[in-house]
Amino acid sequence: MDVSIGGAARASGVKVPTIRYYEQIGLLPVPQRTQANRRLYAPQELRRLRFIRHARELGFEVEAIRTLLALQDRPDHSCEEADRLAREHLEQVERRIASLSALRRELMHMVEGCSHGRVAQCRVIETLDDHSLCAHHGESE
């Protein structure tokens, strides 16, 4: 039923040292140990790990995840906080998408413009050199 840290890594997609790191910073509870001092993870911890991994993939910071996990542990509590975190995060994500889309246009411009000739004519360099050619003026991240 319970698995080793390697098994947990395979089951969750989180690397072994990262699992230990999460334990160290208190994102994961201190796990059971075998007699030989090896970590043992129960299904519940694996779920927690997957939760963390998913949230990290979605770009939530560790501190936000800490809050989400604390919320998760109190299912009767109002989800106001989780909602707020998700909303804030959504805004951030939308800003990032806008910024990356501008960048994408610019990069496409660059590689289209590159005539595979000499550097002097290459838009990749030119575009980076002259911000005024850039698609996202006055934008900040």
Partner DNA sequence: CTTGCTCCTCTAGTCACTAGAGGATGTATC
Partner DNA sequence: GATACATCCTCTAGTGACTAGAGGAGCAAG
Chain positions contacting a copy of itself, by CB under 8 A: 47, 50-51, 54-55, 57-59, 68, 71-72, 74-80, 82-83, 85-87, 89-90, 93-94, 96-97, 100-101, 103-104, 106-108, 110-111, 114, 116-122, 124-125, 128-129, 131, 134, 141
95 is written with which tokens?
A: 């800003």
108 C-beta neighbours (distance < 10 Å), count? 11
| Calpha distance 39→106 (Å, rounded) | 49
User: Taking the chain, what is the end-to-end CA distance rounded to the nearest angstrom?
Assistant: 46
Pick from 2, 7, 103, 126: which binds DNA (CB under 7 A)?
7
Counting every residue, how long is the chain?
141
| Binding of residue 88 to DNA (CB under 7 A) | no
* 13, amino acid identity: G
Binding mask 100-139 for DNA (x = CB under 7 A): ----------------------------------------
